[in-house]
Structure 1
Amino acid sequence: MDIRLVTETYLPDINGVATTLGCLVEALRQRGHRVSVTCPRSRARRDLGDGGEVPGLALPFYPEVRFGLPRRRAFLAEWREDRPDVVHIATEGPLGASALAAARALGLPVTTSLHTNFHAYARAYRLGWLATPVMRYLRRFHNRSAGTFIPTDKQAGELAANGFERLVVLGRGVDTDRFSPARRDAGLRASWGADEHTPVLLHVGRLAAEKNLDLLIEAMDLARSVSPTTRLVIVGDGPERARLERHLPGAVFAGALRGEALARHYASADAFLFPSLTETFGIVVLEAMASGLDCLCFDYAAGRMLIEPGVNGLLAPIDAPEAFLDQVPSLLHGDPRGRRSRARETALKYGWSAVIDSFEQNLLAVVATAEQRVPVLEEQT
């Protein structure tokens, strides 16, 4: 297939969307498909392969996040001259909206992904009045495609109840060779002020308001009251970093990491704290489990899908932050119940191969039925 991917974020951006798209694109190219990526220009981005960068702007309150400017006419010209088999739109910003309009005008098959709970973000930024119009926009956007890929069955049910159509569950995978307990590094732990007997809690993610970071602060305060030697390592960056540094003296702020450095940080910790309530999936939970960490998160998205409470990790009800805090002490005294090894066993079942197979087969189905007015995707779980 000749696939055109349009997205507001792509490697080397550090987020779950970029990670997922990068894995899909690399695998599809290895299978012989042509995949062209269009995304906003970035200083860090050197080569998109068969694709191109376009003008974009940074969010004023979060400069690390960029969105592309509309370019409907440019897409029309490009795709008339070099007609793709299918257009896949991964983000719903101005760039994605113009790509959707152009693809429909040309009668091209088009699919979309829903990676971000923008309506939940509106509440996190105290703009709750925007949640309803944002949901209305997302529903209209995605219902104009042949199908929308989403990461979990639960989300499929919630979106279907809100009028979303043609939803396709496409899970997430993890590189279990890269993210592995074998990456544990005593020297790195020593740089954190920790030996093998020091509890080390880890958090990985964007440091932004929508990530429920006040609960991370409370969890660490509690952990230190129980075990004063506890260390906290935070991997990631964002507008909330300065505030966290003030409230978490002694925490190690490693900044944004990728590749081997990220894998070593995961494996060198003991437990993973993930208080976010706005994820569509939360691929960092899967990476932490693959690295053999005892994970504490809320009972939704990746947590609900992957964790059996008390067996391979810990869960708290999504409306009960106190239940999240109540379980922090159990992360601090080793792993007597073997949750860490069972977390690793769970992650080993979630390689990328099945995810890529599902994505490829669904795109092939859309291309094969392109002359139908509303092609229907075969739902995969």
Structure 2
Amino acid sequence: MKVAIVTESFLPRVNGVTNSVCRTAEHLAAHGHEAIIISPAPGPAEYAGFPVRLVPGIALPMYPQFVLGLPTPKVEEYLREFAPDVVHLASPIVLGASGVAAARRLRIPTVAIFQTDVAAFARRHGFRGADQVIWRWLRRIHAQADRTLVPSTATMEQLARYGVPRLALWRRGVDLERFHPRHRSESLRRRLAPGGEVIVGYVGRLAPDKRVHLLEHLVDIPGVRLVVAGDGPAEPKLRRLLPTVEFLGFQSGRALSETMASLDVFVHTGADETFCQAVQEALAAGVPVVAPASGGPLDLVRHGSNGFLYAPDSPRSLRLCVERLVRNPRLRAELAARTRPSVQARTWEAVCDELLGHYQDVIGVPPGRLAA
């Protein structure tokens, strides 16, 4: 199979879209398929043995770490040269709009991945009143795709309300080796909580849409040490707001594995998550989760089983959930025992196999009959 991936975000930028594209490309390479990746510059020349075709990009003024690919005829040129069986549109917004239009002109089937709630992102970054305009634009893009894959049941219901057709569920995978309880580090725990405090942490981007400032409602809980791993445009403001919180900066590899597994409670504060990979990674690492009762976490967190869900706009609800776990070690241990089993079947191998099935469906070839 030949797959062209047109993505709004890719390396060196690290986020949920990039992660999904990387895992998809690795899966395609491992199973003998061909692919190209079309993404905004700057970026690598290749990934997983596949060429990366770079197009002009522009950084968002309020979020310079996020680069949008600009519309360009180069997309159609690259697709024509490669002649793919299917075009994979990763979180299409601007570059993805060029991709789906070019694919239609070339009569190439398309699978679009809805991954970012752009309307909510814009609202949290100060662009209020743009929801309807953004949703009309997104519906226009996705209406041209042969299939739109969504990461959670809440997101599927949301897109259906806005009239996006041909929806199917495609959840994200998790690296069960990188995120595992065995990475828990007692030396790290002693450094972060020398007094034996309960370590409560957030891991993820530090941006307005993640609402990390809500951690201020947890700083005075007795016996708690708050830690934050990640970076982003909101970091300077958060450091001033939360002077007693340990900021670990951006982490990857072994450091990230150890930090996640060494938490006692993982707290997520964003209320606009279409999936929330960080929640799934915390569960894989054996850490009970406290997350908003909205969006993607509704599919991941089983209230009272592997974590707690709190009312998204209630700091008091957030605090009560965290306090309950902090004050009850036995309950914390019971929930921790049920975290990893709740996501153990969601390997990237299994999830990417599902994706290949969606490719086959839109191409029109019965599953199992399409040769690599």
Give the structure-2-normalised TM-score.
0.92
Is this contact kept in 1: 2:55–2:74, CA < 8 A? no
- SS of alignment partner, residue 296 of structure 2: helix
Aligned to 2:55: 54
Aligned counterparts, 1:353-364, within 5 A: 353-364=349-360
1:75-134 per-position Cα deviation (integer Å, ceiling 9, x unaligned): 233333331111111132322111122111111111211110011123212322101110
1:254-305 per-position Cα deviation (integer Å, ceiling 9, x unaligned): 1111222211110111111101111110000000011111210011233211
Alpha-carbon offset, residue 158 of structure 1: 2.1
Over the matched positions of the two proteins, sequence identity in percent amounts to: 34
Is this contact kept in 2: 1:285–1:302, CA < 8 A? no
Aligned to 2:184: 184
Alpha-carbon offset, residue 12 of structure 1: 4.5
- SS of alignment partner, residue 336 of structure 1: helix
Aligned length: 362
Aligned counterparts, 1:89-168, within 5 A: 89-168=89-168
Is this contact kept in 2: 1:149–1:170, CA < 8 A? yes
Residue 249 in structure 1 maps to residue 239 in structure 2: no
Aligned to 1:377: none
4+ residue runs over 4 A deviation: none
Residue 340 in structure 1 maps to residue 333 in structure 2: no
Q: Among 309, 319, 323, which residue is 1:315 paired with?
A: 309
Alpha-carbon offset, residue 237 of structure 1: 0.8
Alpha-carbon offset, residue 242 of structure 1: 0.6
Aligned to 1:198: 197
1:30-59 per-position Cα deviation (integer Å, ceiling 9, x unaligned): 11111211111236x463332222221211
Q: Kindly provide the amino acid, as one letter, of the partner of residue 313 in structure 1.
A: G
Residue 331 in structure 1 maps to residue 332 in structure 2: no
1:134-188 per-position Cα deviation (integer Å, ceiling 9, x unaligned): 0111111101010111011222122112101001100112111210110011222
- SS of alignment partner, residue 14 of structure 2: coil
Aligned to 2:68: 67
Aligned to 1:288: 282
Q: Kindly provide the amino acid, as one letter, of the partner of residue 33 in structure 2.
A: H
Alpha-carbon offset, residue 369 of structure 1: 6.3
Alpha-carbon offset, residue 364 of structure 1: 1.1
Unaligned runs of 5+ in 1: 371-381
Aligned to 1:378: none
CA–CA separation in structure 2 for the residues paired with 1:230 and 1:157: 37
CA–CA separation in structure 1 for the residues paired with 2:283 and 2:82: 43
Over aligned residue pairs, what C-alpha RMSD do you find?
Answer: 1.9
Q: Kindly provide the amino acid, as one letter, of the partner of residue 177 in structure 2.
A: D
- SS of alignment partner, residue 129 of structure 2: helix
CA–CA separation in structure 2 for the residues paired with 1:323 and 1:131: 27
Alpha-carbon offset, residue 214 of structure 1: 2.6
Q: Kindly provide the amino acid, as one letter, of the partner of residue 286 in structure 1.
A: Q
Alpha-carbon offset, residue 21 of structure 1: 1.8
Change in Cα spacing, 1:320 to 1:251, as seen in structure 2 (3 Å) is: closer
Q: Among 227, 236, 248, which residue is 2:230 paired with?
A: 236
Alpha-carbon offset, residue 64 of structure 1: 1.0
Alpha-carbon offset, residue 217 of structure 1: 1.9
Aligned to 2:370: none
Q: Among 300, 309, 324, which residue is 2:294 paired with?
A: 300
Alpha-carbon offset, residue 313 of structure 1: 0.5
Q: Kindly provide the amino acid, as one letter, of the partner of residue 300 in structure 1.
A: S
CA–CA separation in structure 1 for the residues paired with 2:81 and 2:262: 51
CA–CA separation in structure 2 for the residues paired with 1:369 and 1:144: 20
CA–CA separation in structure 1 for the residues paired with 2:89 and 2:124: 25
Unaligned runs of 5+ in 2: 367-372
Q: Which moved more, 1:335-344 or 1:11-20?
A: 11-20
Give the structure-1-normalised TM-score.
0.90
Residue 368 in structure 1 maps to residue 364 in structure 2: yes
